Amino acid sequence: MDKDFLVDDEDCGALLLRPLGHGTPDGVARVDVAKAMRDGLRARRARAWSTAVAVTAGVAVVVTGGLLVLRPQNQALPPVLPADPSVPASCTASALPAGDAKSAEVNAGDPSGRYLVGASEPVEGGDHNVLVWRDGKLVADVAYQGPRVSMTDINASGVAVGATTGGVTLPYAYESGRVTRMKGAGNAVAINDAGIVAGDTEPVIKDPQPQRWASWDAEPELMPMPAGMTAGQAFDITEDGTILTSLWSRNVGGIYLWHADGTVEKVEPPKAAPGHEVFAGPLAFHFGWLYAEVRTPSLNSSESTPEARTVGSNYRYDPASRTWQDLGTKSYSVQVPAVQRRGGGFLQNKPTVYVGKKVLTLPPLAKYDDDAFKVAFISADARVVAGSNLSGVAAERPVLPIIWRCR
C-alpha cells in the first residue's frame, strides 16, 4: 500500500467526515454520520488487536474461565501426572478362608482386587498348595506334584505365575485349575491382564537376565541388554506391557524400563547434591507410578562403601513425564506391595500402605500379643487390600491370610 494512504484513527474519521466541512451539501447528504463513527471505532479496534499480536509475538494465548491468559511459549507447562485414587475413609479386616489348611498367606492380586493368590501351609515343610480367592471366597485349593512353587502374581482372568523356591529356579503357571511348568527356566514374576509374563533367567547357572513370555504357554524372549549392562532382574509389568527391571554390571547399575515394542529406557535417578551419588532401586508399579527406594548420601556415616554410606527413602516416578516425587518417608516405614523374592514386603505391628503419595493405616486383625503384618496387595482403586499376619515364629504359629475391604 502507498504510504500516502496510511492514516491514524483520527485521520480516518476526519477523512470520512470531510465532506461535511465544505459548506452546504448539494441535495441529500451522501455520508451516514453514524456509520462513519462506527467504522472508525471498528478500524481502531482492529488495529489495536493487530498491534497487540505483534507486540506479543512468541506468546501463547490460553482462554481460561472466560479470561484471556498470555503465556510465554518458552515457559514449560506443568506435567500431567497420573491421578491418585482417593484415600479410603475406613477399612474392615477379615480373615480369608483357607479350606482345610490351618495356615495360609496371600501373595498378590489382580488390579481390580477380585482375584487373590497365595499358598496353604507356607511354613517350612508345609504342603504349599496354590490357593485362589475370588471376591474373598476360596475358589481353588490345588495340590501339585514336583518342587515347591510360590505364585507371585495373578491377572483378571485368574491366571497366576510364579516359580520354584529351591534348587534350580523354574517358572510355573496356574491356569484352569492346574499348576503347569512354563517353558524355559528362571523366574516368572508378574503377569498383566493381557497375559504377558515378566520374569528373568535362572540365576544359579549364570547371571540372570530379564525375559518375557507373550503368554504363560509361550517361549521366553530375552531382554536386549543396553551397552555395559551384564545382568538384571524383572520386578513388575504394566497393562501396556512395560516391564520394570533392575540392570547392573560390575561397577554400575540402575532402573530400566523394557517397553512392549522392545526398546529399553533408562530411568535417571533423582538429582543428587554436587559430588554425591544417588542409588535407586525398583519396587513395583502402582496407580500409574513406579515406586522405588532411593538412597542418598548420609553425612554421618562411616561405612566403607558408597552405597552403605546412604539413607534410604521412598520415592515414586512417573514414566510419561519423567517426574520423581519424594514421598517423605524412610525405607521400611510404609509398605509398597511388591514381589517378596524381589525384596518386597516387611512386617509391621500396625500395617500401613501407600495410596498414591498418602499413607493408609489399616486396622490390625489381632491374633497374638506380638502381631506383625505384611501387606502383599492393594487394588488399583485402593478399595481392596490383602496380606497376612505372620506373628511370632511362623513354624510355631499359623499364618493368617487377611483381606481389608475399604470405602
Which positions ≥6 away from 346 have C-beta within 8 Å?
A: 332, 335, 374
- Residue 35 — very low, low, confident or very high, per pLDDT cuts 50/70/90? very low
Q: pLDDT tens digits, residue range 82-123?
A: 999 999 999 999 999 999 999 999 999 999 999 999 999 987
Within 10 A of 329 (CB to CB), how many other CB atoms are there? 15
Q: pLDDT tens digits, residue range 252-278?
A: 899 999 999 999 999 999 988 787 789
Give me 324's grid cell. Answer: 520423581
Instruction: Evaluate if residue 152 carries a pLDDT over 50.
Output: yes
Q: pLDDT tens digits, residue range 288-321?
A: 999 999 998 776 655 556 556 678 999 999 999 9
Rounded CA Rg of the chain: 32
- The domain spans of the chain are 3-72, 91-406
- Residue 59 — very low, low, confident or very high, per pLDDT cuts 50/70/90? very low
**pTM score over 0.95:** no
Q: Residue 92 — left, alpha, or beta (φ > 0 → left; ψ -120 to 50 → alpha)?
A: beta
Calculate the average pLDDT of the chain: 83
Q: pLDDT tens digits, residue range 362-390?
A: 999 988 888 899 999 999 999 999 999 98
Instruction: Evaluate if residue 287 carries a pLDDT over 70.
Output: yes
| 183 within 8 A of 213, measured Cβ to Cβ | yes
Topology of domain 91-406 in CATH is: Methylamine Dehydrogenase; Chain H (2.130.10)
Task: Please tell me the distance from the alpha carbon of residue 172 to that of residue 180, in angstroms, as a whole number.
Answer: 6
Q: pLDDT tens digits, residue range 213-256?
A: 999 999 999 999 999 999 999 999 999 999 999 999 988 899 99
What DSSP string describes 189-239?
A: EEE-TT--EEEE--TTTS---EEEESSTTSPEEEPPPPTT--EEEEEEE-T
Give me 164's grid cell. Answer: 520354584
Task: Please tell me the distance from the alpha carbon of residue 59 to that of residue 110, in angstroms, as a whole number.
Answer: 47
Within 10 A of 75 (CB to CB), how many other CB atoms are there? 8
